[in-house]
């Protein structure tokens, strides 16, 4: 097995393990502390997560790129990035505290965010530490830590819940796990590769790094705010309960994002290669990527839309039934979210990263505007509708620009989605019937089995398609 394939398999396993443990832990937390406290807890984590991006500002991406080009300078780049992130960390924590004061949140929420803010500092360090390991071509330790740190959070958080400790102990569970992750990453770098963990405060060199990070920083800032601002606005404009009703379906839909990320990791280098060598192949591969993601997203959308009430009650109890409508809206947006991944990768791979950043900025503005208009009136459902609008715009605007770069086979894409939609619709009928007559799990299993058969019956999928998809994943 090649080192690339081995690293890919490890990271995929780590990511899936992390998502499963994270979803399980969130369900335990929500069922135990109730809607209002779940909202308070989720909003605190979202607030600090937004500010994490201001600590990193793309330094890790630049570090990985430059260190991969000049492996003998990994120590130099690592020390300079650490220094830059220490400065950014202090400034970001100060900005976080100032924002809390400016928005006049209650003390309990501030207390949770102050603790969560410490987590962001540890997260920023181990992000760069694992960046160094990526530059060395070793993803084993990062893949272990992905699931391991989440498992530690699960154990500590469950213990704190069992002991009925105050809410801030749940945040401390994250902080402790993040600190342990940072110590583990630092130990590996020091012991295995002999890297010094001391920062190097070279003002001129840090300025050079900052200049290189600018495109990454803007994209990261827009993307992070877009992902979490809805929760903070719900907290400010509605209530903790509204955040609780929104966070549960949001967690479910977010758990599936590893799927397009896995495919894009394979496609991105090929997009870059074909952009230079063969524009026709570039267009064909882009069309196939949309088909493969639609193949997965459509049944997820249909199945979860139909089963939403049963899923919410089974995972989070009947107290969260008002989350059903937000879940149905968010699961529709999942389809457009999946589609936006290959579109963004296509634009970045064809040297249109500035265009992609501009699209994200415009969509962010539209999303915030929609949240401000919809949340006061519709609460969690309004935030979900704003997310749907944002993902729809992100996919539609990007797709409209792609034909200026390559001749896209629109007819092939349309035919693919029509046949996939037919298979998903028939599967939906089977899921609805099985859920009414046999229950949730028979509906899930029966729906998956029927969809697999319907794909071939409707000719939405062929064996050559299956072989091509497997080949793409193996190429990673």
Residues 229 and 295 in one domain: no
Q: pLDDT tens digits for 381-408? A: 999 999 999 999 999 999 999 988 889 9
Q: Are residues 157 and 283 in the same domain?
A: no
DSSP designation for 238: S
User: What's the whole-number average pLDDT of the chain?
Assistant: 86
Q: Give the Cα separation of 32 and 38 in Å (integer).
A: 9
Out of 9-23, 131-145, 354-368, the most confident range is 354-368
Q: Helices (DSSP H) in 57-136: which residue ranges? A: 59-69, 74-103, 107-135
Claim to verify: residue 358 and residue 251 sit in the same structural domain: yes
- Examine the domain organization and report whether 313 and 174 are in the same domain: no
d(CA 282, CA 406): 7
pLDDT of 6 above 60 = no
Q: State the Cα–Cα distance between residues 297 and 288, nearest whole angstrom.
A: 14
Does position 411 have pLDDT exceeding 70, yes or no? yes
Closest by CA position to 354, among listed 216, 473, 252: 216
118-148 pLDDT per residue, tens: 888 888 888 888 888 877 777 778 878 878 8
Per-residue pLDDT at 468: 64
- Please tell me the predicted confidence (pLDDT) of residue 2: 46
Asked if residue 141 lies in contact with residue 188, where contact means CB atoms within 8 angstroms, the answer is: yes
Structure-token match 């495109």, residue found:
215
Identify the domain containing residue 83 by its residue range.
1-237
Report the C-alpha dihedral over residues 124, 127, 129, 131, rounded to 10 degrees. Answer: -140
Among 131-145, 291-305, 352-366, 431-445, the least confident range: 131-145
337 and 223 together in one domain: no
pLDDT digits (tens, 9 = 90+) for 179-229: 999 999 889 888 888 888 888 777 777 777 777 777 667 777 888 888 889
Dihedral sign computed on CA atoms, order 432, 436, 440, 443: negative
Q: Could you tell me what percent of the chain has a pLDDT over 90? A: 46
Q: For residues 148 and 249, state if they share a domain.
A: no
Query: Same structural domain for residues 354 and 250?
Result: yes
Residues 213 and 260 in one domain: no
pTM of the model: 0.85
Q: Between these two residues, 99 and 18, which has the higher pLDDT value?
A: 99
To the nearest 5 percent, what fractions of the chain are helix, strand and coil? Answer: 90, 0, 10
**206 and 341 assigned to the same domain:** no
| Number of independent structural domains in the chain | 2
* Domain limit, last residue, from 237, 263, 286: 237
Measured between alpha carbons, how far is 138 from 7 in angstroms, rounded to an integer? Answer: 7
Per-residue model confidence as pLDDT tens digits over 35-48: 999 999 999 998 98
What's the confidence (pLDDT) of residue 476?
47
| Contact (CB, 8 A) for 3 and 471 | no
Same domain, 135 and 175: yes
Whose tokens are 């207390």? That residue is 111
Q: Position of tokens 């979900």?
A: 384
Quote the pLDDT of residue 429.
Answer: 95
Last residue of a domain, one of 217, 237, 257: 237
Decide which of 237, 267, 292 is a domain's last residue.
237
Give the helix ranges, DSSP H, for 163-257.
Answer: 168-193, 203-237, 240-254
How far is it, in rounded angstroms, from Cα 106 to Cα 104?
A: 7
CA atoms of 294 and 260, how far apart (whole Å): 10
Does one domain contain both 67 and 205? yes
Q: What is the pLDDT of residues 141-191, one digit of tens each?
A: 887 887 888 889 999 999 999 999 999 999 999 999 999 999 998 898 888
Show Cβ contacts of residue 165 under 8 Å, excluding neighbours closer than 6 positions: none
Residue 322 has pLDDT above 80, yes or no: yes
The Cα 288–Cα 114 span in angstroms is 46
Domain identity same for 261 and 365:
yes
Ramachandran sector of residue 198 (left: φ over 0; alpha: ψ -120 to 50; beta: rest) = beta
d(CA 246, CA 176): 26
Indicate the DSSP class of residue 461. -
User: Which of 233, 227, 232, 222 lies closest to 362 in space, CA to CA?
Assistant: 222
Q: What is the pLDDT, as a whole number, of residue 426?
A: 94
């Amino acid at each position: 097995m090649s080192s690339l394939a081995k690293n890919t398999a490890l990271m995929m396993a780590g990511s899936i393990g992390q998502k499963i443990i994270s979803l399980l832990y969130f369900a335990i937390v929500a069922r135990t502390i109730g809607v209002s406290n779940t909202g308070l807890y989720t909003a605190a984590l979202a607030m600090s997560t937004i500010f994490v991006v201001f600590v990193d500002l793309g330094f890790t991406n630049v570090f990985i790129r430059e260190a991969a080009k000049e492996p003998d300078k990994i120590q130099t780049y690592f020390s300079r990035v650490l220094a830059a992130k220490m400065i950014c960390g202090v400034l970001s924590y100060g900005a976080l505290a100032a924002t809390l004061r400016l928005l006049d949140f209650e003390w309990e929420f501030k207390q949770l965010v102050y603790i969560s803010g410490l987590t962001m500092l540890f997260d920023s360090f181990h992000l760069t530490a694992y960046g160094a390991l990526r530059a060395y071509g070793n993803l084993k330790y990062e893949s272990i830590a992905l699931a391991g740190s989440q498992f530690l959070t699960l154990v500590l958080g469950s213990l704190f819940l069992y002991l009925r400790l105050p809410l801030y102990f749940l945040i401390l569970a994250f902080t402790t796990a993040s600190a342990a992750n940072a110590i583990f990453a630092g130990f590996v770098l020091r012991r295995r590769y002999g890297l010094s963990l001391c920062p190097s405060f070279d003002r001129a060199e840090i300025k050079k790094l900052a200049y290189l990070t600018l495109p990454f920083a803007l994209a990261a800032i827009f993307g992070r705010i877009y992902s979490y601002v809805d929760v903070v606005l719900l907290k400010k404009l509605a209530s903790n309960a509204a955040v609780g009703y929104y966070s549960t379906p949001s967690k479910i839909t977010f758990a599936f994002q590893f799927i397009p990320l896995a495919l894009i990791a394979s496609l991105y280098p090929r997009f870059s290669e074909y952009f230079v060598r063969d524009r026709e192949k570039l267009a064909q591969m882009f069309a196939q990527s949309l088909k493969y993601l639609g193949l997965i997203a459509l049944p997820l959308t249909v199945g979860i839309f139909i089963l939403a009430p049963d899923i919410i009650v089974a995972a989070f109890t009947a107290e969260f039934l008002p989350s059903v409508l937000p879940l149905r809206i968010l699961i529709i947006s999942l389809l457009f979210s999946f589609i936006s991944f290959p579109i963004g990768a296509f634009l970045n791979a064809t040297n249109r990263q500035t265009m992609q950043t501009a699209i994200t900025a415009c969509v962010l503005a539209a999303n915030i505007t929609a949240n401000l208009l919809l949340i006061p009136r519709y609460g969690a459902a309004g935030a979900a509708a704003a997310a749907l609008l944002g993902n729809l715009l992100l996919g539609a605007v990007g797709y409209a620009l792609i034909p200026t770069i390559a001749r896209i086979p629109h007819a092939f894409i349309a035919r693919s989605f029509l046949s996939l939609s037919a298979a998903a619709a028939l599967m939906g009928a089977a899921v609805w019937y099985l859920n009414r007559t046999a229950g949730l799990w028979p509906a899930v299993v029966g729906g998956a089995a029927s969809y697999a058969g319907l794909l071939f019956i409707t000719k939405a999928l062929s064996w050559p398609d299956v072989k091509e998809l497997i080949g793409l994943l193996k190429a990673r």
